[in-house]
Chain A
């Protein structure tokens, strides 16, 4: 932006945004944490791909993968990953009704329903995954 200074506007004060702007407010911090969750979502995908790769390579490779996964630091990483992925999913589902305006017979579907359908879908898919693994 080019500013023309006159005697009436001799100099504007331009505050600089601090690098730590996101610790100033709780809502900013939650937002930055939500953005950060993408790293953990990516890691969970990589971890899944590593598992699929190990399975495809035979039982020895699979056993190696299991040994790696039971390492304390790997367990710790995956517990943190789970927490962040849950945080990601919950905050995302809670925001969904704001972005989605659904109409049924000309009337706007209440926000709680839109969020509810997302949670129900999540529960259904989790149950399906649990049934596939345990059942």
Chain B
């Protein structure tokens, strides 16, 4: 006899209800099933009206982030058996408007992300005459950790400041800015500072540290933000003591 486990899934159908409700589904409990497999079983076999996002099933695409038993998790990397005997509560990511069921609206992040210019900025416009921009393994190690971000939004869901301050850039955007600031090929740190060293930027962060706990890729956004605070503070001290340098 197959074991079973109950999923308590948040439903929100805007055409017929004002607030989310909870619906229970009893699903088979297989050892190799992640929460996402459970949801796929619901969608395929029990209730085709359930809406949620997913794609790669392997922790790369970053689209299946949900709140599982109160914790922001990638549902493809969260196994049903770890919650035995259940029930498992599955809610949409926190700190985002909900479009439908478990699908959240991430437009706010998509608008904030380009503000930090997460791309290589070079002083010269034309292609470099020497061809490739070489980099040593040590130089790559400086930023590699931050380049692992998959924009899954778990850090935004975990951060209370994101929920309280609408203008806050948020953990992933700042970590991605650091990914380029620390890249030996990049020359855009000064441009990014205008956006980062503000109350909506790093100074909005009060170092709760939950973004780092939630991150499934080991990016450590909290560390990135605190490191940048040190950089920004040193820069403003420098420009105060040596105003001719910043001109």
Q: Do A and B interact?
A: yes
Q: Which residues in A have some Cβ–Cβ distance to B below 8 Å?
A: 1, 3, 9-15, 17, 21-22, 24-25, 27-28, 31, 35, 95, 98-101, 106
Flag if B163 contacts A28 (CB, 8 Å).
Answer: no
Q: Which residues in B have some Cβ–Cβ distance to A below 8 Å?
A: 12, 14-15, 19-20, 70, 94-95, 97-99, 105, 107-108, 138, 160, 163-164, 166, 206-210, 212-213, 220, 222-223, 226-227, 229-230
Flag if B12 contacts A17 (CB, 8 Å).
Answer: no
Q: CB < 8 Å: which of A3, A22, A27 contacts B213?
A: A27
**Chain B residues within 8 Å of A21, by CB:** 160, 163-164
Q: How many A-B residue pairs have CB under 8 A?
A: 66
Q: CB < 8 Å: which of B12, B213, B230 contacts A13?
A: B12
Q: CB < 8 Å: which of A12, A17, A35, A106 contacts B98?
A: A12
Kindly name the residue among A22, A28, A98, A106 whose own CB sees the greatest number of chain B CB atoms within 10 A. A98
**Chain B residues within 8 Å of A98, by CB:** 209, 212, 220, 222-223, 226
**Chain B residues within 8 Å of A1, by CB:** 107-108, 166
* Least CB distance, A50 to chain B, in whole angstroms: 30
Which residue in chain A gives the minimum CB-CB distance to B97? A12
Given that A1-B166, A28-B160 are contacting pairs, would A9 and B206 also be in contact in the complex, using a CB cutoff of 8 Å?
no
| Subset of 12 A-B contacts with CB under 8 Å | A1-B166, A10-B15, A13-B14, A13-B20, A13-B97, A14-B98, A17-B95, A17-B164, A25-B70, A98-B223, A99-B226, A106-B138
* Least CB distance, B9 to chain A, in whole angstroms: 15
Which residue in chain A gives the minimum CB-CB distance to B71? A25
A67 and B108 alpha carbons, distance in the complex (Å): 58
Flag if B206 contacts A35 (CB, 8 Å).
Answer: yes
**Chain A residues within 8 Å of B212, by CB:** 98
Q: CB < 8 Å: which of A22, A27, A35, A99 contacts B229?
A: A99
